[in-house]
Chains A and B, each alone.
Chain A
Amino acid sequence: MNAAVLQMKGIEKRFPGVHALKGVELEIHAGEVIALIGENGAGKSTLMKIIGGVHQPDSGEIFIDGSPVVIASVSEAIKHGIAFIHQELNVLDNLDVASNVFLGREPLRGGFLRLIDNRKMHEETQVQLTRLGLEIPTSIPLSKLSIAQQQMVEIAKALSLEARLLIMDEPTSSLTLSETARLLEVVKELRSQGVGIIYISHRLGEVEEIADRVVVLRDGANAGSLTRASVNHDRMVKMMVGRDLDHFYQHPAADKTPLYFNVKNLRTSRYPDKQVSFDVGKGEILGLAGLVGAGRSELAQAIFGVDGALEMTITLDDQPLRVRTPQDAIKHGIYLIPEDRRHAGLITDIRIRENVTLPALGRYATLGLIAHERERQSAVEMCKKLNVKATSVEVKTANLSGGNQQKVVLAKWLSLEPKVLIFDEPTRGIDVGAKAEIYELMRRLAESGVAILMISSDMEEVLGVSDRVAVMHEGSLTGILERGECTEENIMRLAVGSRG
């Protein structure tokens, strides 16, 4: 066999506080489709960023066509014939197809005038579109194309760069079924043309269909690989999870009251034709698991009234509620600790005090005027209760660590007697110590009678904290697991869309 297009040996990468890659090996040949799978946080993106020249490995070797190389930058990766199709498309939708394909390296004419040779640009673009079997004019603006077509344009761009290795990150996550089928055809076609393809996907069905080999990452290390003949759904799931969990789960001390907070027929604009219904008991922590993009954050935002639900019936303690805006939700004691701490959870360039008191500023005011001392005392008290580490409440929240920022977000709501708390990725980017504190706090809140809905992509967290786990896949609820049935395998199976 020829030398591999790309070979990676013993790749190590550490970030502050995280050992992201632990001696990862990867090899891919021309005309081969490798599926790279693993849970969120298994190290797939870090590995791809190393191939793409975004990150440098701490140690390990990379070979291209058998000779050792250092990929120091994105442009070097491109020179080596490596091209990326990102989950989030990098297209300029105000420009036409040809301009996108040749962006930054437009063919020129007219000497020093540096005019764009439009004819040549369109002709060469047409060649790539034909190669992909894509029948669209090269002069149509990208904004007029579907997401799937825009993605094809990106692939055309990669091909025109003479890519020999194409990395596709979750390429089908926003495609319809027929578009997905079309994309898989294109992938097969490229394979027969000798392009090596790394296909990253959570959709195991696609992986089964297309992969010549499946490489599984788990916790930053190779968890094994499967050849075409041995690829099957169960084996892949087992390889992706299969690790011992240190359980920090504490059984609820008090009996929870079931059906305390009910959500029925919730439809969001992201998945307008899917309905979701579930309930959270008083004193219960319901985990909400699923893959990125399953529609969990949209669900949380709809319940909180940020992004109006298309349809939703909610009852709290048998009282039907009307929630159209966050003000409505807050009035009923339903609070959201959003995923994007720095943009939605906090105003990072104002002080801790001002953030903490923002939702209930009226409480510290007489006739609309803020009583500063009362405001300050309350902020100090909440920060002490939550163990926020800062020199004073007058510090800007931008200067705090992730854990302390999250505690400030919590402090905003805890003084307001929550009835329902929705946590969206409560510990993302937070160090281990602060994580434990937040889990403990969640449990204490549940004990005090709060209904908690916890969205999390961190499997350990879902299993360790939840009393029950609801799982979503592409906008629908694929199942709710009781405590006894909560295993990584079961959750993964529901998360990738295979029911039961």
Chain B
Amino acid sequence: MKKELGTFLLLVVLCIVVTALNPRFLAPANLQNMARLIGAYGIFSIGLGLVIITGGIDLSVGSLFALLGVLLSMMLTEWGWSSVLAVLVVIGAGMAFGSLHGFLITRVRVQPFIVTLCGLLFYRGLARFIANDETKGFGSAAGFETLRNVATGSLVGIPTPFVLLAVISLVMWVVLHRSVYGRYLFAVGRNEVAARYSGINSRNVVASAYILSGALAGIAGIVFAFYTNSISPSSHGNFFELYGIAAAVLGGCSLRGGEGSIIGILIGTALLQVLQNLVNLLGIPSSLNFAVMGAVILIGVIADQILQRRAS
């Protein structure tokens, strides 16, 4: 928890500052919308966090959202598949792409950056080709209202994506911080050689992180597809992988591997969404959006390093 404290304080300070400058920050509608986005971004950021803990990286998530979103729309509206089947296919496809990444990284020994960079290009192209470069949507969602509700609805006033994130975080917290598998993830990320000498099948552990990340990207992909309700294959999900990586890094995941926590990733995700919100609420030109984020992430990471060095 100590490691996440810095980022958490930054989040709290940021919230206070924004509230002071524009009290609408605390308006229920604003909080709800923010929670919804935190939910959607948090789900796949956790997956990215797992991959980063093994010392890897996944750049393909944003393009995967476009591909899965296009497929989801076509399955539901054009091919008339049932919601259940469509959901299973989307999550299954996420896992399949994840295992492909895992296979290329651990068996063919291509660097994670390269593998997932190629994924980023490939899935985007595939999405545009399948959709014939046309924007896809869900219309009135006749026949799959329940599914749409997962993305756009609420559960006793709390946006469903946020509820979903809460459940997933809880499960992943147990997996990462309490299970044998979680310990192996950290061990392999810290020192792959020593892990191997301790009898851990490090290749399978690494590959499984990509599969898990793929599954979580599938779930988040469904939420994003319904949230936007118009999936332009050439721009849907652009840069989302970078939000995920930024959230994980802000939350204390080291790109060298072997470090990170679910709580940290959640704080990191929240921090990014509050920043987005800040740009909107404070009337900062939205064109400056990325510049603000880049600056704050950089400051956050540097501050964190200084604090770490002080501590030791």
Contact = CB atoms under 8 A, between A and B. Distances in A.
B198 A359 contact: yes
Contact of B197 (A336, A348, A354, A365): A336
Given A306-B196, A343-B191, A370 B201 contact: no
A326 B187 CA distance: 16
Contacts of A287: none
A5 B129 CA distance: 76
B196 A326 contact: yes
Interface in A302-345: 304, 306, 325-327, 329-330, 336, 338, 343-345
A349 B179 contact: no
Interface string B259-298: 0000000000000000000000000000000000000000
Contacts of B199: 326-327, 329-330, 359
Contact of B174 (A343, A358, A369, A412): A369
Interface string B161-189: 00000000000001000111101101100
B187 A327 contact: no
A347 B194 contact: yes
A361 B180 contact: yes
A304 B199 CA distance: 10
B193 interface: yes
B201 A327 contact: yes
Given A368-B179, A369-B174, A358 B187 contact: yes
A362 interface: yes
Given A327-B201, A347-B190, A349-B190, A370 B195 contact: no
Interface string A404-417: 00000000100000
A43 B107 CA distance: 44
B147 interface: no
Contacts of A412: 198
Given A347-B191, A349-B190, A354 B198 contact: no
Contacts of A325: 201
B200 interface: yes
A436 interface: no
A350 interface: yes
B197 A370 contact: no
Contacts of B193: 343-344
Nearest to A331: B199
Given A350-B186, A358-B187, A368 B180 contact: yes
Nearest to A340: B193
A370 B180 contact: yes
A343 B180 CA distance: 22
A347 B200 CA distance: 13
A344 B197 contact: yes
Contact of B180 (A304, A327, A362): A362
Contact of B198 (A358, A365, A369): A358
A368 B185 CA distance: 13
Contact of B179 (A336, A346, A369): A369
A365 B258 CA distance: 21
Q: How large is the interface on B (under 10, 10 to 19, 20 to 34, 35 or more residues)?
A: 20 to 34
B50 to A, nearest CB: 16
A326 B180 contact: no
Nearest to A416: B199
Nearest to A326: B199
Contacts of B200: 358
Given A327-B201, A349-B190, A359-B198, A370 B183 contact: yes
Interface in A356-403: 358-359, 361-362, 365, 368-370
Nearest to B194: A347
A343 B181 contact: no
Contacts of B186: 350
Contacts of A344: 193-194, 197
Contact of A370 (B179, B190, B191): B179
A267 B199 CA distance: 22
B183 A346 contact: no
A306 B302 CA distance: 39
A329 B178 CA distance: 27
Contact of A343 (B179, B187, B194, B258): B194
A344 B186 CA distance: 15
A345 B197 contact: yes
Contacts of A306: 196-197
Contacts of B190: 347, 349-350
Contacts of A359: 198-199
Contacts of B258: 349
Nearest to A338: B197
Most chain A CB within 10 A, of B180, B181, B193, B200, is at B180
Most chain A CB within 10 A, of B193, B196, B198, is at B198
B179 A365 contact: yes
Contacts of B201: 325, 327
Contacts of B178: 369-370
Contacts of A361: 180, 183-184
A464 to B, nearest CB: 27
Given A343-B191, A369-B178, A358 B196 contact: no
A99 to B, nearest CB: 26
A345 B194 contact: yes
Nearest to B190: A347
Interface string A38-61: 000000000000000000000000
B189 to A, nearest CB: 10
A304 B186 CA distance: 23
Nearest to B189: A347
Interface in B178-224: 178-181, 183-184, 186-187, 190-191, 193-201
Contacts of A370: 178-180, 183
B295 to A, nearest CB: 31
Most chain B CB within 10 A, of A336, A358, A359, A412, is at A358
A347 B192 CA distance: 9
Given A358-B183, A370-B178, A370-B179, A346 B194 contact: yes
The 4 closest A-B pairs by CB, nearest first: A330-B199, A347-B191, A358-B198, A359-B198
Interface of A: 304, 306, 325-327, 329-330, 336, 338, 343-350, 354, 358-359, 361-362, 365, 368-370, 412
24 contacts: A326-B197, A336-B197, A338-B197, A343-B191, A343-B193, A343-B194, A344-B193, A346-B191, A347-B190, A347-B194, A347-B195, A349-B190, A349-B258, A350-B186, A350-B190, A358-B187, A358-B198, A358-B200, A359-B198, A359-B199, A365-B179, A368-B181, A369-B180, A370-B179
Interface of B: 174, 178-181, 183-184, 186-187, 190-191, 193-201, 258
Given A326-B196, A370-B183, 14 more contacts: A326-B198, A326-B199, A327-B199, A343-B193, A345-B194, A345-B197, A346-B194, A347-B187, A347-B191, A350-B190, A358-B200, A361-B184, A368-B181, A412-B198
